[in-house]
Copies of this chain bind each other. A is one copy, B any other.
Amino acid sequence: MGAQPSDTAPHKNPTLADVAAAAGVSIATASKALSNRYDVAETTKVRVLEAAEELSFSPNLLARGLLGGRTQSVGIITSDLEGRFSLPIMMGAEGAMAADRSTVLLSNSRGNPELELQHAKALLSRRVDGLLLVGDTPEPRPPLRLQTVVPVVYVYAPSQDPADTSFVCDNAASAKLATERLIGAGRRAIVHLGGPAQSLAAIDRAEGTRLAAAAAGLELIGGAPAMGDWHETWGWSSVHRLLDEANEFDALVCGNDQIARGAMDALEARGLRVPGDVALIGFDNWSVLCADVRRPFSSVDLNLDGLGRAAIQTLITPGAPVAGIHKLSGLIVDRGSIE
């Protein structure tokens, strides 16, 4: 009795003081033994470690964070309800963080700038070391209207302010890559079935296709990319139209996998073989459409996971992030629909 370790109250986390008492050392020494960054006698260190283990000691990171240093956490605000694009980005980011023993604080702004601002403030109140703003379209967005002492990085949707740091997909370069691949496989009569003419992603992908064709001295069938919408039906009806109008074509670059899927179905319905008669490539590499299906097809993977990782790297690396828009190119996942 007397100098005994105090009985910890039933539902309370043990503190460093409890560990120190159990090990018969001062709090300072216990702290040093645990941190492994100061000279502590080996036997003392062992005693402290055992005591900590015994008590299931879990250091209070709030206290540590309060000491002024970094909290080893970043806040991610996603604007995407569907998660179609943001999920892989988030997972990449989380993976990069976890490898660093850091944590992600997640919020969903639901595309609402007011809510985004509110969440940003809340995350900053928790003293995150940085903020990742994940958009759901490639259109540049207004910057966060908030002074922050920690860095902010925009992902997928870049900030309109060139002084900010943004990471985005290079849709044009990726489409070029896909088209070059088709041309490399001997295709000459290429059609681009694009998304909506107002969508920047659709425009960039169409332009990338056109540029790659032009570089090979080719003009797209129809004279220009055919812009429509993002749905299967557009791919389906476009192929029927092309065939009905007796267009000759041997390759289809589709603006996304849904269009590609519609096109695949139409080609099958008309008795054409892929890639025998027509080569085809989609965009987004969404497995439910291009991999996990009756007739898999090749697709451009935008490497969203890598985008998230890259953004986090930049965010948690000490020093101000490099300003400007960083574009990351995708890569082709081949499933035999090209050649």
A residues whose Cβ falls under 8 Å from a Cβ of B: 11-13, 56, 58-63, 65-66, 71, 73, 76, 81, 83, 87, 90-91, 94-95, 98, 101, 103-108, 119, 121-127, 147, 149, 231-233, 236, 258, 262, 265, 286, 288-289, 292-294
A90 to B66, CA, bound (A): 29
A91 to B90, CA, bound (A): 13
Among B56, B76, B103, contact of A107 (Cβ-Cβ < 8 Å): B103
Among B58, B98, B123, contact of A124 (Cβ-Cβ < 8 Å): B58
Q: Are A125 and B61 in contact (CB-based, < 8 A)?
A: yes
A286 → B minimal CB distance (Å): 7
Q: Are A106 and B83 in contact (CB-based, < 8 A)?
A: no
Q: Are A63 and B60 in contact (CB-based, < 8 A)?
A: no
Known contacts A58-B121, A125-B59: does B107 contact A106 (CB below 8 Å)?
A: no
Q: Are A83 and B94 in contact (CB-based, < 8 A)?
A: no
Q: Are B60 and A288 in contact (CB-based, < 8 A)?
A: no
A230 → B minimal CB distance (Å): 8
Q: Are A61 and B147 in contact (CB-based, < 8 A)?
A: no
Q: Are B98 and A108 in contact (CB-based, < 8 A)?
A: yes
Can you list 5 A-B contacts with CB-CB less than 8 angstroms, sorted by A residue number?
A13-B149, A91-B108, A94-B106, A231-B292, A286-B288
A87 to B87, CA, bound (A): 8
A104 to B107, CA, bound (A): 7
A83 to B286, CA, bound (A): 13
Q: Which residue of B lies closest to A120 (CB)?
A: B58
Known contacts A104-B105, A106-B106, A294-B236: does B127 contact A62 (CB below 8 Å)?
A: yes
A12 to B148, CA, bound (A): 9
Give the chain B neighbours of A288 by CB distance below 8 A: 258, 286, 288-289
Give the chain B neighbours of A289 by CB distance below 8 A: 288
Among A94, A123, A231, the one with the most B-chain Cβ atoms within 10 Å of its Cβ is: A94
Q: Are A107 and B126 in contact (CB-based, < 8 A)?
A: no
Give the chain B neighbours of A104 by CB distance below 8 A: 105-107
A103 to B126, CA, bound (A): 9
A105 to B60, CA, bound (A): 15
A132 → B minimal CB distance (Å): 12
Q: Are A62 and B58 in contact (CB-based, < 8 A)?
A: no
A233 to B73, CA, bound (A): 44
